[in-house]
Amino acid sequence: MKKSNGAATVEPEYVQRFGLQFRVQHIILFLGTLGLIFTGIPLWCLGRPEYGWTQSVVRFFGPIATIRHIHRAFGVSLVLISIYHLLYTILTRQGRREFLELLPKPKDVADVMKNSLYFLGLSKERPRFRRYSYCEKFDYWAVYWGCVIIISTGLAQWFPEATGRYAPWLTYELAAEIHADEAILATLALFVWHFYNVHFNPSRFPGTLLWWHGRMSREEMLREHPLEYEKLMSARE
């Protein structure tokens, strides 16, 4: 790249895409989520004795009371990281900036349309994304929605006495079903959609350590977030 006066600028090999705050929050979130999924399996199986295999799974995992306690401990970690992220978003400059970047905008709708046409071969160019593509925004807001649902329904089951006393009839049963449904959706979305986008798609296979060091290569930035890259470069200038 050349400056307007003709002098060449040294383009960085890597771009620091995510700061330490963001990465730590992400690591705590995914560790907690993986723990919840792992310990949630026997709890899901426990309530479905009509399928013969489920009880074998329950037995495989061991004492259900212990599993339930561990599940709740991971649940607490999810609650805490959610609260922390909320405070981070409100109270820090970086948090507010990231939040604003993650807000859905009309361009995202246009990008979805454009990408769909690209997939179908009706357009030769991919949409050019900013800091966050619509896929990443979907990931972020899916987690937001998921946390609200999962935490509220989890608490309803954790404290059945209060649920039975203060919430409408069948809230507990609804909470149990919604909790399980949302967990299944989150698990599928995580392992199928999110893992494909960040690890398993052909340009990244077999995976990336972006979540660990937060750095993205210049080539990848140009491919995945060209508008963000240009913005960064112009800011450097």
**Contact between 121 and other proteins per CB under 8 A:** yes
* Structure token pair of residue 116: 């769909």
Which one-letter DSSP state was computed for residue 130?
-
Judged by CB under 8 A, does residue 222 bind other proteins? no
Question: Could you say whether residue 165 binds other proteins (CB under 8 A)?
Answer: yes
Cβ nearer to other proteins, comparing 11 with 181: 181
The span of 10-18, 40-48, 74-82, 218-226 binding other proteins (CB under 8 A) equals: 40-48
Residue 46 interacts with other proteins (CB under 8 A): yes or no: yes
Q: How far is the CB of 206 from other proteins (least distance, A)?
A: 16
Letter string b/e over residues 113-132, b meaning 16 or more CB atoms within 10 A of that residue's CB:
ebbeeeeeeeeeebbbbbbb
Stretch that binds other proteins, among 22-30, 74-82, 92-100, 181-189 (CB under 8 A): 181-189
For 146, half-sphere exposure in the C-beta direction (CA atoms, 13 angstrom radius) is: 22
Give the C-alpha separation, 26 to 89, whole Å: 14
CB-side neighbour CA atoms (13 Å) of 64: 13
Number of alpha carbons in the 13 Å side-chain half-sphere of residue 57: 16
Which phi-psi region, left, alpha or beta, contains residue 168 (left: φ > 0; alpha: ψ -120 to 50)? beta
125 binds other proteins (CB under 8 A): no
| Greatest pairwise CA separation for the chain in angstroms | 75
Is there binding between residue 205 and other proteins (CB under 8 A)?
Answer: no
Q: Least distance to other proteins from the beta carbon of 47, Å?
A: 3
| Binding status of residue 48 toward other proteins by CB under 8 A | yes
CB of 164 to other proteins, least distance (A): 4
**Distance in angstroms (rounded) separating the CA atoms of residues 76 and 83:** 11
Closest to other proteins by CB, 89 vs 115, is: 115
Contact of 32 with 82, CB cutoff 8 Å: no
**102 makes contact with other proteins (CB under 8 A):** no
Measured from the CB atom, the residue of 117 and 232 that comes closer to other proteins is 117
**Site of interaction with other proteins (CB under 8 A):** 46-50, 64, 115-116, 118-121, 135, 160-161, 164-165, 168-170, 172-174, 176-178, 180-182, 184-185, 188-189, 192-193, 196, 201-203
